[in-house]
């Protein structure tokens, strides 16, 4: 079994980004990321702090907009429009989930697609599905980078994705399909999950349910990627029973230290790309 070490790869990627930021600054450009956080959800606060810190570490200028949970949809959209028009801001990130009274889709659509470094805007989703992406969503992009780093060939592989969310599952399916894998999507209504996973060359789980993927559900030599994040007591765990599944798999991501650090690294990478997209470099 080989560990898909997201911590090590993300460090390497961040070092490359740091060098790129120095070059950009020498030509008078400071990459800028605007991060919007609504309300005081502790998990969202933690993610925003991690992203801001990661920006600081590589020299990206990040501007935090923290707003109360009661903010109206229109007020939020007017802040986004202001950021769309600000040439110092290359990327805009709205930390999800949003409070219930705000229409997430309308907010995402209000972000200039050229600054949509999360790749959630329908324009960017559409481009990915059609096979000519502008921005790749950070989490599945990080997983693709792990496959690349470990020379894992995707063409012709049978991949099963468990979890069909907009953040991971759906864009992951498009990326794997674009890489000529055969993709099957599973979700809460899937009748017999094991029946789908047991023959898969690649199993990617993005659900948020500890021990969802057990040893009896994967075939010998499979590649297993665990996206899930759940708290069990004071421990952070994924969806995969790592201890037992790792005995059968050829490659597997740990939690923590697998997909999580890659997501942040790809956010930084997309922000650098945003400089090029917005400046036409």
Peptide bond into 243 cis (omega under 30): no
Q: Which residues within the stretch 103-142 sit at the binding site for ligand NAD (CB under 6 A)? A: 139
Distance from C-alpha of 24 to C-alpha of 28, rounded to nearest angstrom: 6
Phi, psi of 62, rounded to the nearest 5 degrees? -115, 140
51 is an active site residue: yes
> Which residues have CB under 8 Å from 206's CB, separation 6+?
139, 161, 162, 163, 165, 167, 168, 169, 172, 227, 228, 239
Which CB, 110 or 139, lies closer to ligand NAD?
139
What dihedral do alpha carbons 240, 246, 252, 255 form, nearest 10°? Answer: 50
157 is catalytic: no
How many Å apart are CA 122 and CA 129, to the nearest integer? Answer: 10
Q: How far is the CB of 127 from ligand NAD (least distance, A)?
A: 20
Does residue 13 interact with ligand NAD by CB under 6 A?
no
**Binding of residue 167 to ligand NAD (CB under 6 A):** yes
Q: Which stretch binds ligand NAD (CB under 6 A): 85-93, 111-119, 204-212, 214-222?
A: 204-212
36, 117, 160, 229: which one contacts ligand NAD (CB under 6 A)? 229
Please say if 100 is a catalytic residue: no
Q: From 67-75, 104-112, 152-160, 224-232, give the range in contact with ligand NAD by CB under 6 A.
A: 224-232
Going by their DSSP bridges, the two strands 223-226 and 91-94 should be labelled as unpaired
Give the whole-angstrom CA distance, residue 99 versus residue 96: 9
Which one of the spans 26-34, 77-85, 149-157, 223-231 is the region binding ligand NAD (CB under 6 A)? 223-231
What the block records as the tokens of 255 is 């939690």
- Looking at 5, 112, 116, 118, which residue is catalytic? 118
CB-based burial of residue 50 (10 Å sphere; 0-12 exposed, 13-18 middle, 19+ buried)? middle
Does 246 contact ligand NAD by CB under 6 A? no
| Residue 172 structure tokens | 């992951």
The answer to the question of residue 245 lying near ligand NAD (CB under 6 A) is: no
Q: Is 160 in the site for ligand NAD (CB under 6 A)?
A: no
Given the DSSP bridges, would you call strands 235-237 and 230-232 parallel, antiparallel or unpaired?
antiparallel
Q: Which of 227, 245, 265, 274 binds ligand NAD (CB under 6 A)?
A: 227
Within 173-192, which residues bind ligand NAD (CB under 6 A)?
186-188, 190
**By the criterion CB under 6 A, which residues form the site for ligand NAD?**
139, 162-165, 167-169, 186-188, 190, 193, 206-209, 212, 227-230, 259-260, 263
Which residues are designated catalytic?
51, 95, 118
């Amino acid at each position: 079994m080989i560990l898909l070490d997201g911590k090590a790869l993300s460090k390497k990627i961040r070092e490359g980004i740091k060098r790129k930021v120095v070059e950009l600054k020498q030509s008078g450009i400071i990459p800028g990321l605007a991060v919007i956080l609504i309300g005081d959800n502790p998990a969202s606060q933690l993610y925003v702090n991690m992203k801001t810190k990661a920006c600081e570490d590589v020299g990206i200028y990040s501007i935090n907009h923290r707003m109360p949970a009661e903010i109206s949809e229109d007020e939020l959209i007017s802040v986004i429009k202001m950021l769309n028009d600000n040439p110092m801001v290359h990327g805009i990130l709205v930390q999800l989930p949003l409070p219930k009274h705000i229409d997430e889709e309308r907010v995402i659509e209000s972000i200039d697609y050229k600054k949509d470094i999360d790749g959630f805007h329908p324009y960017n989703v559409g481009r990915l599905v059609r096979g000519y992406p502008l921005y790749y969503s950070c989490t599945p992009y990080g997983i693709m980078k792990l496959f690349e780093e470990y020379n894992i060939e995707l063409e012709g592989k049978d991949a099963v994705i468990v979890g069909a969310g907009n953040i991971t599952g759906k864009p992951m399916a498009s990326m794997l399909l674009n890489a000529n894998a055969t993709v099957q999507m599973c979700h809460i209504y899937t009748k017999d999950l094991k029946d789908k996973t047991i023959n898969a060359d690649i199993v990617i789980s993005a659900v948020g349910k500890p021990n969802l993927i057990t040893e009896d559900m994967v075939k010998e030599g499979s590649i297993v990627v665990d996206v899930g994040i759940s708290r069990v007591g004071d421990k952070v765990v994924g969806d995969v029973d790592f201890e037992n599944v790792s005995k059968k798999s050829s490659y597997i991501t740990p939690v923590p230290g697998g997909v999580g650090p890659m997501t942040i690294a790809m956010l930084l990478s997309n922000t650098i790309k945003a400089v090029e997209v917005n400046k036409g470099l």
